[in-house]
Amino acid sequence: MNKKPKVIVGLSGGVDSAASCIKLLEAGYDVEAMFMRNWDSALNNDLKGNPTINDDVCPQEKDYQDAKEVAEKLGIKLHRIDFIEEYWDNVFEYFLNEYRHNRTPNPDILCNKEIKFKAFLNHAFSLGADYIAMGHYARVIHTEDGKHYLLRGVDENKDQSYFLCQLTSAQIAKALFPIGDMLKPSVRALCASYGLKVATKKDSTGVCFIGERNFKEFLENYLPAKPGDIVDTNGKVVGHHDGVMYYTIGQRHGLGIGGEGDAWFVCGKNASLNQLIVAQGSQAELLYANRVIVRGVNIINEKFKDGTHLTAKFRYRQKDVDITVKWLDDITVEVKTMEPQKAITPGQACVFYDHEYCLGGGTIDEVYMNDIKRNY
C-alpha cells in the first residue's frame, strides 16, 4: 500500500487552522498538528499596554486549550513547540529597529518568512512531515516541471497572499493552504458541522503572535519615548508629540492640535530635528506619491522584466494599483504608479501581482511625487 503523505498543520486554536485540518483529513492525508508558542509576556517584559497581563490564564494558554480540544475531537496528534527565542531574534528585533528609524514595519510578513515557514517547517520535517499546512487564505499551484506558484485566496476580504510575499519557491513547494479556495462563512460552517466550538471564535487581531495591545504603551516597554515638536509645513510649532515613531503617515486622530480650519494630518517626519510634520486638509496633495523605491525584493519564481505592467498593493486590503517596474539592482525596484497614491509608507510592504498570481514583494524605502522626495 502507498503511504499517505504526512502533513503537519499549524494549529493556532482558531477556526481557520481547524478547518484546514478537516479539509486535509477529508482529502486523505495523514494529519498531525503543531501549536506554536512564540511570545512570553513575562520573559519579554511585555507589561505596559498589555490588557491581559493580570489574567489568571493568558490568551496563548486559552488558544492552546482550544487547539487541544480541536485535535482531540478530530483524532489527530498535537505537538507543542516554543519558538520564543527565534521570534525575538528574527522578527521582533527587526520590528523594533524599524521603529527606531521612524518607519512602520509589518511583522506578519517576517513572521511568515522566519517562523511559520522556516522554524516551524524545519521542526515539522524533523517529525517526518512531507508538507506543512497553514490556515491562510491563499492558494498554491505545484506544477509537474517543478514550479511553485502563490495565488490570492478566493475570499477577497480575507486574502492573505500579501503577508506571504517574502516566501521562497522552496518554502512554497512544501506548503499547503487547504482553505484558500473557501469563503470565511463556509470555513465556520465546516467547523460547526464537526461540532467544534472554535466555529464561532473571533479572529485574532493585533501584532502577530503577541495580540491586541495599547500600541503606544507597548512600544514604551522597549523604546524610550523622545518627545518633540509638531510643526506645520512652514516650520511653525503647532503642538507637541510623545515620539515621532508613534505616528503614521496620514494619521488624523490623536494629534492634540485644535484651532480653526481643516483637520490636521501627519504628512512627514524630520528625524534629525525630532519633529513631526503636519498639514491641513487643503494640503492633502502632500500625502500623494507616484514613484517608490522598493528594497529587499523577493521574487518567488521568474523575475519580471523592466517596463512590465503589473499591479501592486502598498498596504493590506488596498485595491490593486496599476504600476510599471524597473530594476535598479538585484533586490531593488523602482515602481511607478499610473495614478498618484495616498500615504505610501516606508517600512510597509509593496507586493507585486500578475492577476491572481502573487509574484513577491519588498520593503518600501523611499517615496516620491515625480522627482520630489516625500519627507516620510
pLDDT digits (tens, 9 = 90+) for 98-144: 999 989 999 999 999 999 999 999 999 999 999 999 999 999 998 88
For the chain, the residue count is: 376
What's the pLDDT band for 196 if we cut at 50, 70, 90? very high
Please state whether beta strands 131-133 and 175-176 pair in parallel, antiparallel, or not at all (unpaired).
Answer: parallel
Cβ pair 22, 194 in contact under 8 A? yes
Cβ pair 191, 11 in contact under 8 A? no
For the chain, the first-to-last Cα distance in angstroms comes to 61
Q: What is the DSSP string of 272-297?
A: TTTEEEEEEGGGGGGGEEEEEEEEEE
d(CA 373, CA 367): 6
- The candidate with the shortest Cα–Cα distance to 102, out of 373, 365, 318, 370, is 365
Handedness of CA 20, 26, 31, 33 (dihedral sign): positive
Q: Where do the DSSP E strands lie in 234-356?
A: 237-241, 264-270, 275-280, 288-299, 309-313, 321-329, 332-342, 349-354
Cβ pair 343, 249 in contact under 8 A? yes
CA dist 115 to 22, 198, 297, Å?
23, 24, 19
Mean pLDDT of the 54-72 span: 91
Cβ pair 172, 140 in contact under 8 A? yes
Cβ neighbours, 10 Å, residue 301: 15
Mean pLDDT of the 180-197 span: 98
Q: Is 66 helix (H, G, I), strand (E, B) or coil?
A: helix
pLDDT digits (tens, 9 = 90+) for 245-285: 999 999 999 999 977 788 999 999 998 899 999 999 889 99
Radius of gyration of the chain (CA): 22
Q: Between vectors from CA 363 to CA 36 and to CA 294, what angle results, nearest 5°?
A: 155
Edge-to-edge strand ranges of the sheet holding 237-241: 237-241, 228-231, 275-280, 264-270
What's the pLDDT band for 208 if we cut at 50, 70, 90? confident
Q: Which residues are catalytic?
A: 111, 208
List the domains of the chain with CATH numbers.
6-215 (3.40.50.620), 223-285 (2.30.30.280), 287-373 (2.40.30.10)
Q: Is 369 helix (H, G, I), strand (E, B) or coil?
A: strand
pLDDT digits (tens, 9 = 90+) for 286-345: 999 999 999 999 999 999 999 999 999 999 989 999 999 999 999 999 999 999 999 999
**Which residue type sits at 318?**
Q
d(CA 15, CA 133): 14
246: its cell numbers: 508613534
Q: Compute φ and ψ for 139, nearest 5 degrees.
A: -130, 155
d(CA 237, CA 361): 38
Helices (H), the chain: 15-26, 59-74, 84-87, 93-100, 107-111, 120-126, 169-173, 184-193, 215-220
Greater pLDDT, 346 or 58: 346
Question: Angle at which helices 15-26 and 184-193 pack, to 10 degrees?
Answer: 70
